[in-house]
Amino acid sequence: MDGFDFPHFSWNSTSPVEAGVFTKAFLKHRPTEHWVLVGPGIAQCHMQLWTAWNSAARRQQRGTSLARSFDAEFLRYMAGTHHVSEAFKRAGVRDGDQSGCFLVLPLIGKEGEMPATPSSGEVEQLERQALQLASSMDVDIQNTELECNIEGSKRLGVQVDEHTVVSCDLLIGHVLSSEFNS
């Protein structure tokens, strides 16, 4: 898929977080409902994120979403499940986490149309918002690349063992499995 990297900001806490308190603070301080909070290792590659976004956007446009909100539908796809509550358990922040990611879901355009590449001004605005959000939640923004990993894959519910090579293709398959897994 050509285009731009999925908007994301890795965060790090100096001490373990209490999931409920941390999530409530995120919901209170996030700039818009298009900002999503995920736990460590959940966002692993840009194609995984775009596949979940495209799948959720398609359902949203057709009025067939299983979740009440676009961000919850996106998380459902990330977690590879039909169950929204299970998606939050898998992809969300858990007690004791010290890192994770803020994801910014691009606005949905016409069906089958990818969002426009953000301008430098829009990118700068997202960066300012991420820094402000991180400050209000007492975490730091880290400049880390997304990477495929076994721990995050297990957390998402991907069936892996020590011999599994976690790849973006494996994660895309997991996202798409949400259409079949209940």
| Mean per-residue pLDDT of the chain | 93
The helix/strand/coil state of 91 is helix
Cβ–Cβ under 8 Å, residues 79 and 181: no
What does the pLDDT read at residue 1? 46
Residue 110 tokens read as 């016409």
Determine what percent of the chain falls in helix, strand and coil, rounding each to the nearest 5.
45, 10, 45
pLDDT tens by residue, 75-118? 999 999 999 999 999 999 999 999 999 999 999 877 767 788 88
Q: pLDDT class for 181, splitting at 50, 70, 90? A: low
pLDDT tens by residue, 6-27? 999 999 999 999 999 999 999 9
User: Which domains occur in the chain, in start order?
Assistant: 8-177 (3.30.2380.10)
pLDDT tens by residue, 57-71? 999 999 999 999 999
Instruction: For residue 6, give the nearest of 174, 172, 182 by alpha carbon.
Output: 172
Quote the crossing angle between the two packed helices 46-62 and 168-176, to the nearest 10°: 20
Q: What is the largest CA-CA distance in the chain?
A: 44
* DSSP type of residue 82: S
Element (H, E) at 135: helix 120-136
